Amino acid sequence: MLDLINSKLTLNGVLALTTLILILVLAAWHRNKDSHIDLRDLVCEQGRLDEKKFARFGAWIVSTWGFVYLIVEERFSEWYFAGYMAAWVGSAIIDRYVADKSQVEKTRSK
């Protein structure tokens, strides 16, 4: 039992440390004037908060953390992976389809 607790604590510690390092690296890139990375692009469109981007980014953070949590707790199955991928790939495909359809309609109306 103690080995199981220690392994979960170790995995959670590694996860937290990795997350912290990634956040620090992204923040450093964001602050660097020579970098093209702007973290506001994750939730903003042309300098203004975009509700769709904000909601999608928040949902991605929560679902990814849940995905990793299931792996650490050893309750992960291929169905979770399929659902996770279907949600995010499906969302991107639908978004692209709607954008392309909108572009075609704009072209027809001219």
The answer on pLDDT for 2 being more than 60 is no
Taking a C-beta distance cutoff of 8 angstroms, is the pair 6, 14 a contact? Answer: no
Based on the structure, what is the number of domains in the chain?
A: 1
The answer on pLDDT for 5 being more than 70 is no
Measured distance CA(97)–CA(91) in Å, rounded: 10
The residue segments making up the domain with residue 21 are: 2-109
Residue 31's pLDDT is: 92
Residue 24's pLDDT is: 94
> What are the tens digits of pLDDT across the range 37-79?
888 888 888 889 888 888 888 888 888 888 878 877 778 888 8
Amino acid letter, residue 15: L
Task: Give the residue-averaged pLDDT of 72-99.
Answer: 83
